[in-house]
Amino acid sequence: MPLSDFQTVIGLEVHAQLLTQSKIFCGCSTAFGAEPNHHTCPVCLGMPGVLPVLNQRVVEYAVRTGLALGCTVKPTSVWSRKNYFYPDLPKGYQITQYDQPICEWGELVIDTPSGEKTVRVRRIHLEEDAGKSVHDASASGGQSLVDLNRAGVPLMEIVSEPDLRDADEAVEYLKVLRDVLVYLGVNDGNLEEGSFRCDANVSVMPKGSTTYGQRCELKNLNSFRFLKQAIEYEAARQVDVLESGGKVDQETRLWDVNKGITRSMRSKEDAHDYRYFPEPDLQPLIVSDALRDAQAKSLPELPRAKRTRFMGQYGLPAYDARILTAERPLADFFEACAAHVSDAKKLSNWFLGELSRLLKEEGTPLSALRFTPAQLGELLATVEKGTVSANAAKDVLGEMFRTGRAPADIIAEKGLAQVSDVGAVEAVVDDILAKNAGEVEKYKAGKKSVYGFFVGQVMKAMKGKGNPGLVNELLKKKLGD
C-alpha cells in the first residue's frame, strides 16, 4: 500500500508555562534569562527538609484554561510524585498531577480545509518544570553544569485525544490553542524561549481502519514548522516500516533539526517506571466554587467568538476577521479605532496593510503605539473627504506612528493636503490639455488609452496633491466625455 492508503493519527501534549511571577511551590522569580541558579532557594534546589507550598495563582490559571476549553474543572484533584533520577531534577522526583488532574474533557474547534473540526481535550494538569543541564565539552575533560532557574517553574500540560489526522491539522490545533492561552493571559506563547512547547504522538493505520497503529512520541517540538516536518517525516517512516513487513516500536523519538529526521531517544524496553504515588507533602488540590465562579466571570471573549462577531458586527470577511482577532491587543485596538470610523472594511485594510507593515518593520509592540484610535479615525475621515490622497495618508500614518502627532498637524506641516479647489485644478487641466494638443486629437479620434497619460500629467504638475475625483471630473468634462 502506498502512503496515500494510510491514515495518520496524531495527539498532542502541549506544555505551557504559566505566566506567574513566582514558581509553583516557592517564591522564586520565573523571569527568563537570569544568571544560572540566580532564581533559586532551598525549596526549588531540593535541599533536605524543604516542603512545597502551592502558588494559588497557578490554580486560577489552570481553572481559567479549563473553563475556556469547556473542560470539567474537578473540585478535588491530587498531586503525585513522578520519580526518576536526573541531575536537573533536584528532588529526584517531579511534583505533577497523575490520575486525578485538575481539568478533564474539553474541546477546541479548529478550521480545516473541509470545514470546522472539534478536537477533544482529554485532560489539563499542573506540574513543576525541571532545571537545565549544560554540557560543556570544551572544559578540561568535559563538564556538566546544572542551572536550576527553571526548576519549579509552573507548567500546564494540555493533552488532546488522538483526533488530529494530518500535520496541518496538528499545526492548526497548536496555533489555535496558543492563541487561546495568550488571550487568557495565562501563557506568553513564546516557542523560542520554551514557554510553549509540544510533544506529538504519531501513529499510522490503513485508511478505513478503526484500530490505531502503534504510536511513537516525538519530543520537544518547539516550532510550528518543526511540528509539521516531524509529523510528516514520522508518518512516512512508519508507513515504510509497515510496507517492508516490519513492526513500529513504541518509543520516544527526537526531531533532528539539522538532518530533518526523527531518531530514537529511548525504547519502551528502557522506558522509565516512574513509580507515581500521591505527594504526601501536599494536601489534595481543592478548587472552591468561589474561585471557579470568579474565573468564569472574568473569562474574556475568545478568538473564535470574537472572529464571528467581527464578521457580523463590522461586516468583515473571514480572512480579515481571523487576522484581526488572532491577538487580543490587536483586536482591542481595532475595536477602539472602529468606534471612530464609518467603514470598518477600510479600517481593516489599513490594519492588514500599512499598520501591520509598520509594526513589523519597526518591531514596535501594539502596547507602545504613540497615536490614539481617535487620531487614526481622523486620518481615515480625511482620506474619505478627499483632503489627502491615500498615498499621502500612508506618509501621515508613518509620521503618527513615529511621533504620535495629530494627523492634521502633519498634513499641514508637510503640505500634504489635496487641492480640491475647482479653479486651481481647472487651470492645471487646461494647461496640460493645451500643451498636449496632439494627444487630445488622438483621444478624440478614439484612442481612449491616452486618458491615463492626461491624469498622470495633471497629478505630476500638482505634485500628487490634486484631488483625484476632481481631476477626473474636470478632465472628462474638458475632453467632451
* Beta carbons of 407 and 384 less than 8 angstroms apart: no
CA distances from 158 to 68, 105, 108, 178 (A): 12, 11, 11, 11
- CA 332 to chain CA centroid, Å, is 16
Which residue in this structure is represented by grid cell 500535520?
167
267 touches another protein (CB under 8 A):
no
Name the residue nearer to Zn ion (CB basis): 41 or 459.
Answer: 41
CB of 20 to another protein, least distance (A): 17
**Binding-site partner at residue 192 among Zn ion, another protein, none, CB < 5 to 8 Å by type:** none
Name the residue nearer to another protein (CB basis): 87 or 329.
Answer: 87
With CB under 8 A, what is the number of residues at the site for another protein?
29
CB of 296 to another protein, least distance (A): 26
Name the residue nearer to Zn ion (CB basis): 90 or 466.
Answer: 90
What are the beta bridge partners of residue 221? Answer: 198
Which phi and psi (to 5°) does residue 79 adopt? -85, 140
319 touches another protein (CB under 8 A):
no
Name the residue nearer to another protein (CB basis): 2 or 48.
Answer: 48
20/38 Cα distance (integer angstroms): 17
Where do contacts with Zn ion occur on this chain (CB under 5 A)? Answer: 26, 28, 41, 43-44
410/396 Cα distance (integer angstroms): 6
* Beta carbons of 458 and 475 less than 8 angstroms apart: yes
Q: What is the footprint of another protein within residues 151-170 (CB under 8 A)?
A: none
223/365 Cα distance (integer angstroms): 21
416/392 Cα distance (integer angstroms): 6
Q: What is the footprint of another protein within residues 38-77 (CB under 8 A)?
A: 42, 45-54
Name the residue nearer to another protein (CB basis): 98 or 371.
Answer: 98
252 touches another protein (CB under 8 A):
no
Instruction: For residue 256, give the C-alpha cell.
Output: 533532528
* Beta carbons of 459 and 391 less than 8 angstroms apart: no
Q: Please pick, from the candidates 280, 363, 452, 480, the single residue that binds another protein as defined by CB under 8 A.
A: 280
Q: Please pick, from the candidates 31, 72, 277, 476, the single residue that binds another protein as defined by CB under 8 A.
A: 277
416/379 Cα distance (integer angstroms): 12
**Binding-site partner at residue 44 among Zn ion, another protein, none, CB < 5 to 8 Å by type:** Zn ion
270 touches another protein (CB under 8 A):
no
Name the residue nearer to Zn ion (CB basis): 44 or 231.
Answer: 44
CB of 96 to another protein, least distance (A): 13
Name the residue nearer to another protein (CB basis): 42 or 317.
Answer: 42
Q: Which of 424, 418, 421, 425 is nearest to 471 (CA)?
A: 425
Cβ neighbour number for residue 107 with a 10 Å cutoff = 14
Name the residue nearer to Zn ion (CB basis): 46 or 398.
Answer: 46
The helix or strand, by DSSP H or E, that contains position 124, with its residue range, turns out to be: strand 115-128
81 touches another protein (CB under 8 A):
yes
Query: Which residue ranges make up the site for another protein (CB under 8 A)?
Result: 42, 45-54, 81, 83, 85, 87, 90-93, 144, 146, 273, 275-277, 280-283
